[in-house]
Amino acid sequence: MKQNSKYTQLNRRNFIGHVGVVSAGLTLGVKPWYIKKVNSKSMMKEKKCSRIMIGYVWRLESTPGGNIGDYAITPGLVTLLEHNFPKYQVTALNMKRSSKFRIYNELHGFPKCDVVDDALSSVFSSELLKIKNEFGGTLPIINSSNIDIVFDKFASGIINRVKQEYPQFIDVLLETCLFIYNSGMILVYGEETLAGSGPIGFWNYTVLRSLPLLIAWKLGIPYGIYAHSFDSFGDVNDSGQPYFRKLLENAKFVFCRDSNSVDYVKSLQINAPNLMFVPDSTISANQCDNNWASEFMKRNGLNQKRFLIIVARTWNQGDRGSSTIGRKRGFSHMEKMRHIISQWVLKTGMKVIITSEVESDFNNVAEFIYYKLPENIRSSCIMPDAFWTTEQAVALYRQARIIVTMEVHSFLMAIPQGTPTIVPTFSESGRKIWMLNDFKLNDWLFDIDNVSAEQIEDTIFKINDQYQHYSDLVNTKVIPYLKNIEDRAMKIVGKALVPEAK
């Protein structure tokens, strides 16, 4: 890794000397990429690091507002890593310390995958306060000329405090051969993004959310980014671009889940290694609850491949994206979804399941779609009694004839099941919606604000009328194509791993 005189990177050798950590039963050695482990006979045994760390694990808190799509991201990546690199320990990094129970519940199908609480974010606020006080009580505005404040001063402060307060976490870092930043749309900065703009947005969102990458850079731990969407890094003279340029150009790989993000990174002349489209890891989340699906279908009189699923999203969730849609647009979206449902029932006689991908939207979908349907249509529709799990959704997606979803992650969960899936969504969803182009299914993507319900229905009924053709398209062309790309990605990941000790 090329070093800049402005920035001081630490490899494992000088990091050990820098922090001087000794914890119970574990003495840090002097060789890079190794630790010295004391066994029960006090014999010093050399151990090669063999851990792959994933961070962060998205939306696994047990509070309302859960998202079945977010729940699927980490299991998909763990599945890929454990299959391709069985000799390595896969570790999931949990940003929210209070949500560990929910994470263990979600990862129950991965007994070898362990979960660690993130000590980096735990010390973030105290170290940020130091920076703020040093600059007269205000957070410094970062640009290309002073980016070393983040990569040197702030990163060193985080490392020193973690060493003091969470020494066991340092042990885990020293065992890590490769850090992989999870699939999502989190690495952003600027207006119209989750981060926002200005010093507060940059420090309290952009830096906080990318903290493992920053610390991996500082410690010389190889890192990569897996299947991310990069909506924006802000203006050329703002904080985001120089920050992400440094992180991305020093990564081992930067995989984007849509080519639109690849093109965006290239447009900024960021020379990221192995920059390419790789599908969201959700497509490899194959855990499903077939028993629940069978019982649900029996209870509701559903037959295999003889029902439609509607996964709706309203404007009334209270998050940044939904609040920009507003009631007028939101009512129009719901009206179109009701029209689709009515035409499906009238023309096919098949039933419809109506639900949401996000738990906080579940009751809204019932209010604005299910209960507003005319009685003769609603009698053929099913609104589940309670919100479902990721495993239940995957199992039911496998049995459906067609899925119409306003949420991209339901598309990602349904396509691997071989089920044709239509996505009428809105521009606030960001660059990720363009992944349908990469899946070669762009004809199934609709801007719900700029098409009529009838235009969406034309595609639905075209698929229904030529069902075997479109089912074969998904199963024999789309899925193998995506799996081939995943295989290429895993080969690149393998090259980034430190060779295991003999």
pLDDT digits (tens, 9 = 90+) for 436-457: 999 999 999 999 999 999 999 9
- Average pLDDT on 213-241 reads 95
| Cα-based distances in Å from 30 to 23, 172, 181, 492 | 15, 16, 28, 29
Closest CA to 147 of 22, 63, 245: 245
Span 172-195, pLDDT tens digits: 998 999 999 999 999 999 988 888
The confidence band for 502, taking pLDDT boundaries of 50, 70 and 90, is very low
- % of the chain surpassing 90 pLDDT: 74
Span 271-326, pLDDT tens digits: 999 999 999 999 999 889 999 999 999 999 999 999 999 999 998 764 444 456 78
Name the average pLDDT for the chain. 86
- % of the chain surpassing 70 pLDDT: 84
At 317 the pLDDT is 60
Task: Give the residue with greater pLDDT, 178 vs 20.
Answer: 178
| Cα-based distances in Å from 301 to 24, 76, 231, 296, 396 | 60, 31, 43, 9, 14
Give the span between the Cα atoms of 272 and 153, in whole angstroms.
Answer: 24
Q: Report angle CA 490, 496, 499 to the nearest 5 degrees.
A: 105
| Cα-based distances in Å from 205 to 208, 255, 270, 289 | 5, 21, 21, 36
At 108 the pLDDT is 62
Give yes or no for a contact between 92 and 57, defined as CB atoms under 8 angstroms apart.
yes
List CB contacts of 403: < 8 A, sequence separation 6 or more.
308, 309, 311, 397, 410, 411, 414, 419, 420, 421, 422
Domains of the chain by start residue, with CATH = 12-283+491-496 (3.40.50.11720), 288-465 (3.40.50.2000)
Question: Is the model's pLDDT at 149 over the cut of 70?
Answer: yes
At 391 the pLDDT is 92
Span 206-217, pLDDT tens digits: 999 999 999 999
Task: Give the residue with greater pLDDT, 144 vs 17.
Answer: 144
Span 74-89, pLDDT tens digits: 999 999 999 999 999 9
Cβ atoms within 10 Å, residue 49: 23
The confidence band for 236, taking pLDDT boundaries of 50, 70 and 90, is confident
Give the span between the Cα atoms of 70 and 409, in whole angstroms.
Answer: 8
- Average pLDDT on 256-270 reads 98
- The torsion angle over the Cα atoms of residues 253, 61, 108 and 123, rounded to 10 degrees, is 60
The confidence band for 5, taking pLDDT boundaries of 50, 70 and 90, is very low
Question: Is the model's pLDDT at 61 over the cut of 60?
Answer: no
| Token pair for 423 | 């996505």
Question: Is the model's pLDDT at 13 over the cut of 60?
Answer: no
Span 29-50, pLDDT tens digits: 222 222 222 222 222 233 467 8
At 64 the pLDDT is 44
Give yes or no for a contact between 202 and 54, defined as CB atoms under 8 angstroms apart.
no
Identify the weakest region by mean pLDDT among 1-5, 77-81, 279-283, 462-466.
Answer: 1-5
Question: Is the model's pLDDT at 102 over the cut of 80?
Answer: no
Question: Is the model's pLDDT at 240 over the cut of 70?
Answer: yes
Question: Is the model's pLDDT at 412 over the cut of 60?
Answer: yes
| Token pair for 116 | 């660690």
